Structure 1
């Protein structure tokens, strides 16, 4: 994988050739949004769906449209070929562009799109999946509109750092005593033959294509329903199983939360069946 290559506004160049303008509002204010597309077997998984999420976020933060979804999907194909991506991730961010140092943005800004290939060791993730991972909880002090993947990711950065220091795989955000999500994945539990997860409509979790896939396709393969309802850490610890789902971890069993085991502290049957169904789905979509 050629991680030195960057796509910037339709041109693919070496990263060393790019200079960040000091007045770029993404650099100064985090004024922009991002989307991450997983790549399997040299093919982007649901690139169109991801780019629709990106365009929708741009509309909501009032960044003028400058590329259509179809064009951004074509960018992913070009980057996969140029960077020789077989398996990994494609990170795309769009900032409002260059403007004066004012919180209020000018009406006439030229947005800037950057796309890059990101390595991902899926073999290491598969090893972690065999035993499940440990999570640590942190207060969810993020802005309410988390469904927008904005560049302001300081809470996630600090939470991920706390998880690493605590020798945990990731951190779970807790708002008003209810678990919302992890830093890079949705959180689900298996309880009473249902899949439980935090409601999207409350605006405290990110748009997550993997979560959507579990809800709309994979759960049905196991004759299970997904219920979107907020729940506490104690409720989760009493579940039969718990897992993360996201673009990086796929379906990852959760063994412990704050050093306390979920059920017997081992990957559960439903979680492993969902991962197997996910892998089969990937094979069908990327063959």
Structure 2
């Protein structure tokens, strides 16, 4: 079943209008949430971010945050989702194709569920990443459905036999195509400041909470690719990859196995789950 605004509809009966502004302009926002054993992980934080994204692009949500929460929860139950993800987006709705906002616009909420197991092998054994220029717009803090820059970055990783692409803007490492990026140096965590150049991830917030609990310094500070090469450890975070060790960046080995700080964070994350 698919959720369309306040209705639950069989997938084969769902109709997306050709003039939906999400389809024609990428004029919308989205969230992806994790479900473990039928329970939603950090839904409230995702909904707060959805609300913020809506405000930043002047989009009026079709219902209250509480109503969205209730509908998402019901969708998970209807589809009997055990372990997987819920994708939901809100577009500015259907209107004749003009760049300016339509009058009397009615936004459209769409949500669906997908069974998806945890990527335990890569979480345990680590991955390789590559780097490329960050060509995205200047409001990466908004979780918009307009993701072409991210798509190109992810494809670059695939074409170079890597799992993720880490993006670089003006010699500063920003984030992955669909993840936040961290390095560890002398026992301290470093990641790009949560400004307009990155998306402030929910799992990134969880890592910060864990670090504070364990007394690990969480430092929001810009760093270069050269500093990445000299790091003791590196990892990426996101809703779908959780906390995933990075063992190699381009042709440079960061470590031969996941580092101790990374594993400590993973262990604490597992306790939360």
TM-score range, shorter chain: over 0.9
Residue 225 of structure 1: CA displacement? 1.5
Matched ranges for 1:188-227 at <5 A: 188-201=182-195, 203-215=196-208, 217-227=209-219
Partner of 1:10: 6
TM-score (norm 1): 0.92
Does 1:75 find its partner at 2:54?
A: no
Residue 133 of structure 1: CA displacement? 0.2
- Contact 1:255/1:266 (8 A) holds in 2: yes
- Contact 2:59/2:107 (8 A) holds in 1: yes
Residue 236 of structure 1: CA displacement? 1.0
- Contact 2:37/2:82 (8 A) holds in 1: yes
Does 1:30 find its partner at 2:26?
A: yes
Matched residues in 2 for 1:265 and 1:233: separation? 19
Partner of 2:244: 252
- Contact 2:61/2:90 (8 A) holds in 1: no
- Contact 2:123/2:241 (8 A) holds in 1: no
Residue 128 of structure 1: CA displacement? 1.4
**How many residue pairs align between the two structures?**
273
Matched residues in 2 for 1:240 and 1:143: separation? 31
Matched residues in 2 for 1:42 and 1:77: separation? 10
Matched ranges for 1:54-69 at <5 A: 54-69=50-65
Residue 72 of structure 1: CA displacement? 1.1
Q: Which runs of 4+ in 1 moved over 6 A?
A: none
Residue 235 of structure 1: CA displacement? 0.2
TM-score (norm 2): 0.97
Residue 131 of structure 1: CA displacement? 2.2
- Contact 2:91/2:107 (8 A) holds in 1: yes
Matched residues in 2 for 1:219 and 1:67: separation? 36
Matched residues in 2 for 1:92 and 1:225: separation? 34
Matched residues in 2 for 1:207 and 1:234: separation? 23
Residue 61 of structure 2 aligns to a residue whose secondary structure is coil
Does 1:84 find its partner at 2:89?
A: no
Partner of 2:272: 281
Partner of 1:126: 120
Matched ranges for 1:224-235 at <5 A: 224-235=216-227
- Contact 1:48/1:69 (8 A) holds in 2: no
Partner of 2:257: 266
- Contact 1:35/1:54 (8 A) holds in 2: yes
Q: Give structure 2 stretches of 5+ with no counterpart.
A: none
Residue 67 of structure 1: CA displacement? 1.4
- Contact 2:133/2:167 (8 A) holds in 1: yes
- Contact 1:219/1:226 (8 A) holds in 2: yes
Matched residues in 2 for 1:49 and 1:75: separation? 16
Partner of 1:154: 148
Matched residues in 2 for 1:35 and 1:54: separation? 7
Residue 56 of structure 1: CA displacement? 1.4
